[in-house]
Amino acid sequence: MSPKKRVAMHNHAAEASLFKRRALFTFCCVVIMLGILFGNLYHLQVTSHQDYQTRSNDNRIRVVPVAPSRGLIYDRHGQLLAENQPFYSIEMVPEKVKDIDQSLIELGTLIPISEEDIESLKRSLKYHRRFKPMTIKSRLTEDQVALFSVNQHKFPGFKVNAGLKRHYPYDGLMTHVLGYVGKINTKDRARLERNNLWQNYAATKDIGKQGVEKFYETLLHGKPGHLEEEVNNRGRTIRTLKVVQPEPGQDIHLTLDLKLQQKAVELLDGRRGSVVAIDPNDGGILAMVSSPSYDPNQFVHGISRKSYHQLLNDASRPLINRATQGQYAPASTVKPHLGLLALEEKVVSENTRIHDPGYWQIPGVERKYRDWRKWGHGWVNIHDSIVNSCDTYFYDSAYKLGIDKISSFMDPFGFGQNTGIDLYEESAGIMPSRDWKRMRYNQPWYIGDTISVGIGQGYWTTTPLQLANATAILANDGKRFTPHLLKSIEDKTARIETPLDEQAPIALKNPNNWEIINRSMRKTAEKSRFADATYTAAMKTGTAQIFSVAEDAKYDADSVDEFLRDNALIIAYAPFEKPQIVLAVVLENAGWGGVNAGPVARALLDEYMLRDQWSKK
């Protein structure tokens, strides 16, 4: 008999409990997953709504920046000095051109396109998005634009693009003052990003590189506008949604006098040198010429490497602004300032006379410091010494004053420091002192150094701008203004005049000393080429040595290299009673100051002082 099978007994309570646990776990998982789902939906729809909406719009809406037009530059009388001219170029949209190679060949029959340019374009096409325009030829003439326009139907996918480019109508007349604009490079971009200004240049290709264009870049540039365009998923424009017009840059009016500037350039006639004219009543620059110059327009469109190296390697250094960066020994042009100090310190009085035998010696020393006139000037006082430019008188005064007093006194006249003019291109020159020589050469100061400084030679160097500014202070009896070029700012609503920057005046112990020195300069003019002028003028000439000759040797200009010959200088102002213009002229390697720089100063003062009389004739 087979054994009976055991029947399994089901525990319904245990099974029910297990089912409940599994159902609860499943329900909790579903709840948690739904919670995560709703949490993500809340995050997407509510918390990050603005962010994702912006991203969506960025894919749908493209913001295209629009460059502002650059502000114009005028002279003090409203004459246009820097303008914006139409600029034409031919652009091509590659995807709209069936045969690019053949189209370029046919285009070359209308407008010259070199094989080198064509090869460059073909290389660029490899990395260029085919639906975006690319420039084929820039700087088109109006005739070329007209010729292409007539034949444009033959060139589907090609079009003329117009824009504005900076143009300087007077070419090199004011290059060193106005400067120029050029393409933004990596250095410019880094500076703009550092100053949080790069966003303002998103649509701009040019920026001020030098001169006024660079100094007043923030005024001239303006504010960019933009277009909001709807685009498809491939980046093509569907329609324009919004246009925000750019704000043009502000126009600026300079203190420059165009006619005086033109006259100065004409008189220099390409010779190496500089002219600076200042209005002593406010410090405004009337003329600032550095010669030789160059055409700034070639930098606007991108100067070739060959042309730039020619300018860079030119022995005449046309790239340097001689008016603010050229450093010259002031020579006898600072004798009025030294004479003023001698009067102030009572080293001399108005009637003090010394005998000039043609040389001067340091007591107990055999070396003789020669006067420019070999036989001397005899007995001279302060007036005679300035009128006749007596070196011996100032050797003696410098010896008695000492370098400490000279250096300290010349400081408020602006020697040895930047004038503060609104240009970045400026040199401070050198006003030597004991500390300066110790720092520069690690040498002590010798009395012989002081004697050379006493006639504006030795270590003393100045820029023509500093010299003109110091002369203006002298003519103004100590009243001082910061030299400046900006006269006013103009936009579409108003014209704002630049406030005067008047500095603390120079106060003398004896104010009568101003009159003594200025009368000496007036006498100098009366005994020179200004004797027959119909206006009153004051002046002082100077002849600066480039290198020293032996004590008993004679200087012969014909026997030395041209670049080692003496510089010719002159300072002058008019009218004497109430000065309206102050001049400083420097001609490099020209020889005697009175003979060579004198005629330039006379012609410039005639131009300025007699302009109204000539216009009536």
One-letter-per-residue 3-state SS of 180-218: CEEECCHHHHHHHHHCCCHHHHCCCCEEECCHHHHHCHH
Q: Tell me what percent of the chain is helix, strand and coil, each rounded to the nearest 5.
A: 40, 20, 40
DSSP state of 461: B
Residue 59 has pLDDT above 70, yes or no: no
CA distance 325 to 441: 22
Q: Which residues are known to be catalytic?
A: 332
For residues 596-603, average pLDDT: 94
How do residues 191-230 score in pLDDT, each as one tens digit?
888 988 888 888 788 899 999 999 999 999 988 887 777 7
pLDDT of residue 560: 63
Give the pLDDT band of residue 533 (cuts 50, 70, 90). Answer: very high
Between 553 and 608, the more confident residue is 608
Per the CB < 8 A criterion, the answer to whether 207 and 182 are in contact is yes
pLDDT at 149: 85
Question: What pLDDT is stored for residue 114 in this prediction?
Answer: 73
pLDDT at 113: 77
Q: What is the pLDDT of residues 402-420, one digit of tens each?
A: 999 999 999 999 999 999 9
**Residue 152: which pLDDT band, with cuts at 50, 70 and 90?**
confident
Give the predicted TM-score (pTM) of the model. Answer: 0.82
Strand order in the sheet with 567-574: 285-291, 273-278, 581-587, 567-574, 538-544
Annotated binding site, which residues? 356, 371, 377, 390
* Integer angstrom CA distances of residue 213 from 209, 298, 500: 7, 15, 21
Give, as one character, the DSSP assignment of residue 577.
S
- Whole-number average pLDDT of the chain: 87
Beta bridge partners of 162: 88
Q: What is the pLDDT of residue 608?
A: 95
Q: Check whether 100 has a pLDDT greater than 90.
A: no
Percentage of the chain modeled with pLDDT above 70: 90
Residue the block writes with tokens 């329900």: 27
Q: Where are the beta strands (DSSP E) in 144-291?
A: 158-167, 181-183, 206-208, 225-231, 237-244, 251-254, 273-278, 285-291
Q: Which domains does the chain have, with CATH numbers?
A: 64-254 (3.90.1310.10), 258-293+329-486+515-550+563-616 (3.40.710.10)
Contacts 24+ apart (CB under 8 A), 80-83: 80/169, 81/168, 81/169, 81/170, 81/174, 81/178, 81/254, 81/256, 81/258, 82/166, 82/167, 82/168, 82/178, 82/213, 83/166, 83/167, 83/168, 83/169
**How many residues in the chain?**
617
| 232 pLDDT above the threshold of 70 | no
User: Residue range 249-259: average pLDDT?
Assistant: 95
- At residue 1, the pLDDT reads 47
Residue identified by tokens 């923030």 is 218
Return the ∠ at Cα 91 (arms to 89 and 95), rounded to 5°: 175
Annotated binding site for Zn(2+): 356, 371, 377, 390
Q: Which residues of 44-65 are buried (b: 16+ CB within 10 A; e: fewer)?
A: eeeeeeeeeeeeeeeeeebeeb
Q: What integer pLDDT is reported at residue 617 of this predicted model?
A: 47
> Given its phi and psi angles, is residue 456 left (phi above 0), alpha (psi -120 to 50 degrees) or beta?
left
For 99, other C-beta atoms within 10 Å of its C-beta total 9
Neighbouring C-beta atoms of residue 249, cutoff 10 Å: 21
What pLDDT shows up at residue 235? 58
